[in-house]
Amino acid sequence: GHVVRNWKVRWFVLLQDKLLYYKIEGGKKEPSPKGRILLDGCTITCPCLEYENRPLLIKLKTKTNTDYFLECCSREERDSWALDITGAIHAGHPVQVQELHRMKNSFKLLENISLHHIVETMCDSSTGIKLTRNLEQGNRYKETFTGSALVDWLISNSFAVSRFEAVTLASMLMEENFIKPVGARSTEATRYSDLSEQFLDDSTALYMFAESSKKKISSKEELQFNISELRGTIVKQGFLVKQGHKRKNWKVRRFVLRADPAFLHYYDPTKEENRPVGGFSLRGCLVSALEDNGVPAGVKGNVQGNLFKIITKNDIHYYIQASSKAERAQWIEAIKPLT
């Protein structure tokens, strides 16, 4: 309401250039609508996170700077209304309407997106995601957020343009151990082998920041890390696919092989900072090609072939895929003299 700031149920009718609202369902017995919102020059915000306890809001700002806050009954209904209202706002511009539907049905993450930057923004005390206490099946969880709340936050902060894109981005955050599921609902979903089904855009699925995302490395420690491991001469570098140690899924990584000291580091190509996400000394390692007939024990998921394995002196097994047998042979030949 504009005079009394309370919330009232209204029946809305969307026309080509205006949004009408009635007091009675269907507008029956009412000679005229209770009010109207002219859509010409309007801007729409969805999701609107201005009210912490009302996650299903759409905000309309008219060209005269009047704000309307509309609350829907579900996220699906909210997003459907937002899409149709946006189409009506741009009705006189068919190219914009076509682009709107293309964005809704397409998937394209921002180039060079930094997951570290997203997490830092999420942790910001003023603009970050709100952490709350939640109750699930009799268990209380502190400092958590729901899956749907994270999806809304990613869209609201322009890290994603659609819910599908936001879910994929949230899945990447979980895959890289920035966030983790808590409670039965979200934990159960991680049992799916398909990454796209592991994160839930659901108001009953709970998540929290993983401990690893809170650990800050001091500049002194980082300098020592760089001096001790990254001072070697680069012998070979290129993109390979590596199996993760925890989730056993496959990720594209840029590998850099260095000599004196002999180290193999791998980098996440989606992150802006030029800092390895992992690496190990090659001294005492064993490297060997794996036959393509059959999947060896310890290897799961989508295996395309051209596999090779590196076993460190601490008995840690790394499974890596090259794009061809020739490329696999080149990497093995480059690594062997440094072990």
Q: Which of 321, 266, 313, 265 is nearest to 295 (CA)?
A: 321
* pLDDT of 304: 63
Q: Which fold has domain 10-105?
A: PH-domain like (2.30.29)
Q: pLDDT tens digits for the chain (339 residues)?
A: 877 888 889 989 998 889 999 887 665 667 788 889 999 888 888 888 888 778 889 999 998 988 999 999 888 888 889 888 888 888 755 555 555 555 554 444 454 567 788 888 898 877 899 888 887 777 788 889 999 999 999 988 888 877 877 888 888 888 778 899 998 888 888 775 455 567 888 888 999 998 765 554 334 444 344 556 777 888 999 888 888 876 677 888 889 999 988 999 988 887 766 778 888 889 999 999 987 555 565 565 556 678 899 998 888 889 898 888 889 999 999 999 999
* pLDDT of 256: 92
Give the CATH number of domain 227-336; options: 3.40.640.10, 2.30.29.30, 3.30.450.40, 3.40.50.920: 2.30.29.30
**CA separation, residue 18 to residues 38, 84, 253, 333 (Å):** 4, 12, 51, 69
**What does the domain layout of the chain look like in residue ranges?**
10-105, 115-218, 227-336
Q: Which fold has domain 115-218?
A: Arc Repressor Mutant, subunit A (1.10.10)
User: 115-143 burial by CB neighbour count: b if 16+ within 10 A, else e?
Assistant: beebbebbeeeeeebeeeebebeeeeeee
